[in-house]
Structures are given as C-alpha cells and as structure tokens.
Amino acid sequence: MNPVLHKIVETKHEEVRLARGKNLPPRTLPIRPWESRLKTNSISVIAECKKGSPSSGILRPDYFPVEIASIYEFSGAGAISVLTDSEYFFGSLGDLKAVAESVSIPVIRKDFIIDPIQIDEAYAYGASAILLIVRILSPKDLTSLHRYAKDLGLSILVETHNREEVKTALDAGATTIGINTRDLDTFEIHKNLIEEIAPELDESIIRVAESGIESYADWQKYKGIVDSMLIGTYFMKSKDISSDFKSLLSGN
C-alpha cells in the first residue's frame, strides 16, 4: 500500500476509535433513490464537492459546498459526492449534512470507510450512499460493510482499480462499481482502464468512471460503456462550474 494511503488508513482507525461511543443525531432526511439517478438513457454525473486532495493540495480556496451543490443540481447532476475526510481532503461530516439538506438528489459520503461506525455517521448525516474502496479492505470486511450499509437502506459505490478488485467487488455483492483510473499506489492516471474493464461488466451492474475526466472527449469516449461519471477536480478548478458542466456534456 502506498505510504500516503497507508497513513490515511491509519488516521481512519484513530478516527473510528474516537467516534465509538459518541451519540449520533437522528436522521431527518429520506434516503433518496440512487440507482435510478445513475442508470439513465445517457451518462449521468456524480458531481463532487472537495476542497483539496493529498496529490493536488487545495483545489478551491473559496470552497462553499452548499453553493457548489446547488449549482450541480441545477446543472443536472444525478447525484452529489461529498468528501468528508478532514485531515487530507479538508472536508467534514458537517459538509455532508449541509449538502444533503440543501438538495433533492442523492448524496454519497466519500471517505475511507473501514468500520460500521462510519456508515452510521453517513446515515445520520443524510447520505443516501457510501463509498467502499476495495484496495483498503479485506474481502471479508468489504462484504460485511456492504451488507451493513445495505441493511440500513443505503446504496454503495464500490471502488476498484483493476480486474482482480472488480471480481472481489462482485463477490461482495456490489451492484454499483466504480472504476478509478487513478492508481492509489502511484496517484498516476491510467486513461484506458475504463475502456478495458467496463465493457466486461454485466449490463445489470451500474458502471461508474472515476478520475481523470476533464473534457467532452472523455464524455464521448465513455458513451455506451459506463452509466455514470464521478467528476470532482475538473469542477473544483472551474471558474464557472455551470458553464463547464454544460460544455463537458455538449462540447460547447
């Protein structure tokens, strides 16, 4: 495991330890449909709210997640991803709650989830879905966490980086699989990964392209082989998200 990723996971273990025993607020929002928003007649967009990342630093100094989420919803996003990691991505559960309360489309908690308490947090703070990353979980833990989230009524995006991880995800019961072109060990983008793997997945699986999507050409390239694209950095670097959202989909 990459030293940075290893450090992140170590931090998560400490966060989990501190979270145990804390009282969570009761959920006040409905769980919003996820699958129907992602699998449409075109490629849907999971638009991401993230202030920064370990590889890029601060992406958006003027980071106002509720304002950004409103633009995403108005622009036609199928769902919104909110980074909740504080130490490495500068997010929070407060961001998740604020965004979930401000939009009417499903919101996914994007974090490095290794324990059921983090799923309880996602549920309490209004998420309709969570992210599980195959790379940081044993097959047994992946299956257990997937089942735990499903029993709460949450949807699950299972992130993979190669064919072996896709098989592990399918064995765990995943029905929404993300193919991330960013290698978590090197942080390099492998552009052809989605074209190599996505067509091999059954049509019943919701296929999500992740990372490195930044142009209309990418959008066109993935037509017919994925159902949705998770896009963050492209929007976070944008001076006009609404305009760039439109140009990504239309080329204009």
Query: Which residues are identified as catalytic?
Result: 48, 50, 110, 159, 180, 210-211
CA 217 to chain centroid, in Å, comes to 22
CA distance linking residue 108 with residue 83, whole number of Å = 9
Strands 52-53 and 57-58: antiparallel
Q: How many CA atoms lie within 13 A of 227 on its CB side?
A: 22
Catalogue the E-assigned strands of 42-106.
44-49, 52-53, 57-58, 79-83
Q: 125 in the Ramachandran plot: left (φ > 0), alpha (ψ -120 to 50) or beta?
A: alpha
User: Within 13 A of 226's CA, how many CA atoms are on the CB side?
Assistant: 28
Cα Rg of the chain, angstroms: 17
Helix (H, G, I), strand (E, B) or coil at 158: strand
C-alpha 69/C-alpha 75 separation (Å) is: 10
Asked if 144 contacts 156 with a C-beta cutoff of 8 angstroms, the reply is no
Which two three-digit tokens encode residue 59? 């992406």
Q: Specify whether the CB–CB gap between 105 and 37 falls below 8 A.
A: yes
The rounded distance, in Å, linking the Cα atoms of 179 and 230 is: 10
